[in-house]
Amino acid sequence: MATDAQRSGAGPRDGDAVSSSLDDERGTTNGDAVDLVRARAALLDPPPGARRLGPAALREALVELHDFWLSTRAAAVGVGEGSALVAVGALGRRELAPYSDLDLVLVHEGRRGDREQIGQVADALWYPLWNAGIGLDHSVRTVGEAIEVATTDLRVALGLLEVRHLAGDPELSERLAATARQAWRAGIRGRFDDLVAATRERWERSGEVAHRIEPDLKNGHGGLRDIQLLDALAAAQLVDRPTVDVQDARRLMLDLRVELHRRAGRARDVLQAEDAHEVVAAAAADLGVTDRFDLARAVSGAARTVVFATDTALRSARNALPRRGLAALRRAPARRPLDDGVVEHAGEVVLARDAHPARDPALVLRLAATAARTRLPIAAGTLHRLAEAAPELREPWPRAALSELLALLGTGEGMVGVVEALDRTGLWGRLFPEWGAVRDLPPRDRQHVWTVDRHLVEVTSRAAALTTRVARPDLLLLGALVHDIGKGRDEDHSEVGERLARHIGRRLGLWPADVEVLAAMVRHHLLLPHTASRRDPEDPATVERVVETLGADPVLLELLHALAEADSLGTGPGVWTPWRATLMGDLVRRCRVVMSGGPAPGPSPLSDEAVDLARRVAENGQPEVAITGEGDLTKITMTVAAPDRPGLLSRAAGVLALHSLQVHTADLSEHEGVAVDAFSVSPRFGRLPEASLLREDLVRVLRGSIDLPARLAAKERDYDRPGPAPAPSRVVWFDDEATGAVVLELRTSNRIGLLHRVAAALEGQGLDVRWARVSTLGSSVLDAFCLETAEHSALPPERRRAVEEAVLVAATGSTTPPGAPADPAAGP
């Protein structure tokens, strides 16, 4: 049976592999589906010398193979006049993946006395497939029974829209298909709400394909089920058939799903992190990608195309539902003015009848700002009209256009969907040509949950809530929108972004001084978070360097502080934490003092309580522990008798881990010969332990009566059970020219006792830790350690390699080859 692809001439076939498998099948068909399984296996794993089928050719061959076996088997067991075998689901759509279930319906006339015979025919069809382990969803019904079930079962109704004749009476198959489509069109008004509810429930359960690290290509929002939904709405004559862009997205996801099945040897719909390299290695040319990042970008772009088409189609379909009874007598909804040239009609934002896009350069942005402010979607027809008729904005932009852009950006969450709609129809790229380099660009580090372009929009949305904290809210919004615009290129994205920001600022019509502030925001948007986490903010040299970099500009400092918070909030959950806010706030406070002409503040003095503890330790020689503060972030001050003994930090961190305390910062100091280690912590679960229990265990650890590594390993086995690391661990080095400090940054997966193990490794290398900053981002951590050698000398390259290997072994249990040199500007 010829496939659609064959009839249209589309899609190459590997004739040798297909014909060989079918020849074997034709010669061995004897009622046993094992021969079908063997033929399928030959297609998936061709013999030596045979060419591997690409995903599209493999789908075509699988459909042809199953069509042949089923039609041959159906004829042999008596499917003929008065009965028919039809395919629905993946086989009905000719989209069969290697391990897709077969969805089959045996249709019959329902004549009296034929029921028993039809049951025997059905058993003869189904049992060989079951015995061979082939997934099967089957039913035996008359046309009337099938339509009756479809009226109450939405899944069945959607499946009957895909009916394809395989064997038997073709007129019966055609009658089923035609009746099912007629019933679907006639009943769509009463079923539309259920269809939408089921769709949204599926989205909630499976998440976004475009933004999931491990997307569900079939069920996720933007996946194959959504494309089938578009087909169903078109079958109900509510919307047009899917566009070429959507069909391209369908082909990519079908090809990728085929490769997932082929690699796993079973049905798979979720693209897991470990699959990406193997899939690209096996089918890069077929998928049109070069590496896993290119694959992620292609999937994201395809999914977002489908999301936009689906969201638009659902709105259009609701407005196109046939009206009956009194509803048919009601007048069409009136147009409600919203702004100059912008009105609301049927729950959507549209152009007024007297609007002239070609003569109104600010109209696109005014309409977008209105949609974001009112939380109403922009009508698809309006977007397409603007894409065709709206003029290019000349440089510099008219002041009205800049005002409308700022109004759009200031709406916060409302702007996200609007910018997505503008981008999917080409209007956003017309406003910001630089956007093309970051569109659908996947993140390179594990804390980011969005593509780079969506991250920029999310950060701008977060920045809108911070505009009352800064003197220049307009520059905060613009800086948030373009702070990562330099990504996707080979250079440092902050340096590239600085140049692009100048071009953008001049194009928008900003004053020259404001253009320079915008460029400085982009160039230095990571200065505060990196300094707070990788340097010692209490060192006057650190503060002096930040002030020197920013040119003693308090407005720029204020903007960068707000941008850093918005950037963290728009990166992913758990990135902006109370301890991170405290660190950055302290750094900014110190910088403000210097900018106002005062001296750089020195280290904060120890609290009176810490001084008192140190004195008690000096008197009795026993460690003391005090707990102060309440809430999610509690500071635990641990004071240990001096002289400072090697391994103190690792032992103290191990005791905290034994009591399920997660460490955020570690500040190490001393008072009159007594070491004072201050940890900011929060409980992993439950309550904070009593200080007396911590002190008791610390004493036992220092005496050697507790086997700390063994206890931590047991705790990890009982509670942590870490899964596979989402990315390789790595170590990055930073040298602070201002202070002479050497900072080691570890990026790895979180586990119980990690700080203890890493600190012990550093101590074993003869290094002292001046301070530590521990950033926990879900299952990942980013830990920074300021290091000193006993002889206060710099660490040469060979020494660093040894330290790096020891740290990786401590963090992961094995060494991991270092990756490419880190981008110093990488991060949130």
Nearest CA to 799 out of 785, 788, 811 is that of: 788
Q: How far, in Å, CA of 369 to CA of 409, rounded?
A: 8
Same domain, yes or no: 473 and 596: yes
- pLDDT bracket for residue 619 (50, 70, 90): confident
Looking at the domain assignment, is residue 448 inside a domain? no
- Boundary of a domain, candidates 129, 155, 188: 188
- Boundary of a domain, candidates 410, 431, 452: 431
Same domain, yes or no: 725 and 804: yes
Tell me if 283 sits within 8 A of 52, measured CB to CB. Answer: no
Same domain, yes or no: 174 and 51: yes
Same domain, yes or no: 596 and 636: no
Q: Tell me, what's the pLDDT at 273? A: 75
Query: In 207-331, which ranges are continuous DSSP H helix?
Result: 224-235, 244-264, 275-287, 292-320
Q: Tell me, what's the pLDDT at 221? A: 97
- pLDDT exceeds cutoff 60 at 756: yes
The residue that leads in pLDDT, 282 or 686, is: 282
Which phi and psi (to 5°) does residue 787 adopt? -110, 150
Q: How far, in Å, CA of 104 to CA of 85, rounded?
A: 7
Q: Which of 22-31, 79-88, 550-559, 704-713 has the lowest mean pLDDT?
A: 22-31
- Boundary of a domain, candidates 601, 633, 668: 601
Same domain, yes or no: 78 and 109: yes
Same domain, yes or no: 636 and 728: yes
Q: How far, in Å, CA of 347 to CA of 324, rounded?
A: 20
How many domains, in total, are found in the chain? 5
First-to-last alpha carbon distance for the chain, in angstroms, is 54
Looking at the domain assignment, is residue 452 inside a domain? no
Q: CA of 348: how far to CAs of 195, 367, 628, 779, in Å?
A: 21, 11, 55, 41
Per-residue pLDDT tens over the stretch 659-701? 888 887 777 777 777 788 888 787 877 778 888 898 899 888 8
Q: CA torsion sign, 649 to 652 to 654 to 659? A: negative
**Domain range for 389:** 336-431
Residue 34 sits in a domain whose CATH number is 3.30.460.10
Looking at the domain assignment, is residue 673 inside a domain? yes
Same domain, yes or no: 613 and 512: no
Residue in the block written with tokens 């950006």: 409
Same domain, yes or no: 593 and 690: no
- pLDDT bracket for residue 96 (50, 70, 90): very high
Looking at the domain assignment, is residue 796 inside a domain? yes
- pLDDT exceeds cutoff 60 at 635: no
Looking at the domain assignment, is residue 329 inside a domain? no
Task: Tell me the three state secondary structure of residue 105.
Answer: strand
The residue that leads in pLDDT, 346 or 410, is: 410
Q: How far, in Å, CA of 625 to CA of 694, rounded?
A: 7
Same domain, yes or no: 721 and 789: yes
Same domain, yes or no: 178 and 299: no
Q: How far, in Å, CA of 262 to CA of 98, rounded?
A: 7
The residue that leads in pLDDT, 481 or 649, is: 481
Looking at the domain assignment, is residue 406 inside a domain? yes
Q: How far, in Å, CA of 652 to CA of 75, rounded?
A: 77
Which phi and psi (to 5°) does residue 683 adopt? -70, 140
Report the residue count for the chain.
Answer: 828
Q: What average pLDDT is seen over the chain?
A: 86
Same domain, yes or no: 798 and 679: yes
Q: Tell me, what's the pLDDT at 8? A: 33
Tell me if 678 sits within 8 A of 614, measured CB to CB. Answer: no
Predicted model pTM: 0.80
- pLDDT bracket for residue 449 (50, 70, 90): confident
Query: In 78-169, which ranges are continuous DSSP H helix?
Result: 89-92, 115-131, 143-152, 154-160
Tell me if 478 sits within 8 A of 467, measured CB to CB. Answer: no
Q: Which of 92-101, 444-453, 814-823 has the lowest mean pLDDT?
A: 814-823
Q: Tell me, what's the pLDDT at 446? A: 65
How many CB atoms within 10 Å of residue 30?
Answer: 10
Looking at the domain assignment, is residue 461 inside a domain? no
Per-residue pLDDT tens over the stretch 373-425? 999 999 999 999 999 998 889 999 999 999 999 999 999 999 999 999 999 99
Strands 102-108 and 136-142: parallel
Q: Tell me, what's the pLDDT at 398? A: 95
Looking at the domain assignment, is residue 514 inside a domain? yes
Same domain, yes or no: 551 and 615: no
Tell me if 429 sits within 8 A of 387, measured CB to CB. Answer: no
